[in-house]
Amino acid sequence: MNINTGKPDHIEDYLASLHKGQWFGWSDSKNKVYANLIIHDASKIKPTEQECIDGLTQLQSDYDAETQAAIDKKASGKQKLKDLGLDDDEINALMGA
C-alpha cells in the first residue's frame, strides 16, 4: 500500500484482503514477487498469479472510485452551500480550509 495515499500498490495488498491472519509469506522477504509467495496455512489455497494481478487491479479501481466519490461529494456540498447564499470565504471557514 502506498504509504502516502493508502492506495493498494502490491499483490500483498490483495493477498491480505483474502483472509485474516498471517496465512501467506515470502521465501525472500526482500523480493516480494509471486514466484516467492508461500502459503503458511494449509487450509488456504494459493491464488494464481493472474488472480493476484486481477485482484490488485480491482482494489486499485475501487480505491480510485471511492476517492473520486469523496471529491465529487465535497464539490457537491460546496455548490449546495453556494446555492444557499454562502460565499467562498464562509464555505472555507465551515470546511476548515
| Full DSSP string of 47-90 | PPHHHHHHHHHHHHHHHHHHHHHHHHHHHHHHHHHHHTT--HHH
How is the chain split into domains, by residue range? Answer: 11-69
- Name the average pLDDT for the chain: 95
Report the alpha-carbon distance of residue 96 to residue 90 in Å, rounded. Answer: 10
- Residue 97 pLDDT: 65
- pLDDT class for 95, splitting at 50, 70, 90? confident
What percent of the chain is predicted at pLDDT more than 70?
A: 99
Residue 23: all three cell numbers together: 496465512
pLDDT digits (tens, 9 = 90+) for 23-49: 999 999 999 999 999 999 999 999 999
Per the CB < 8 A criterion, the answer to whether 32 and 12 are in contact is yes
Q: What is the mean pLDDT of residues 53-78?
A: 97
Judge whether residue 96 has pLDDT over 90. no
Torsion angle (degrees, nearest 10) of CA 43, 33, 26, 23: -30
Indicate the SS3 state at residue 36: helix
Q: Cβ neighbours of residue 1 under 8 Å, at least 6 residues apart?
A: 7, 8, 9, 10, 13
Look at residue 42 in the predicted model and tell me its pLDDT.
95
| Whole-structure pTM value | 0.82
pLDDT above 80 (res 7): yes
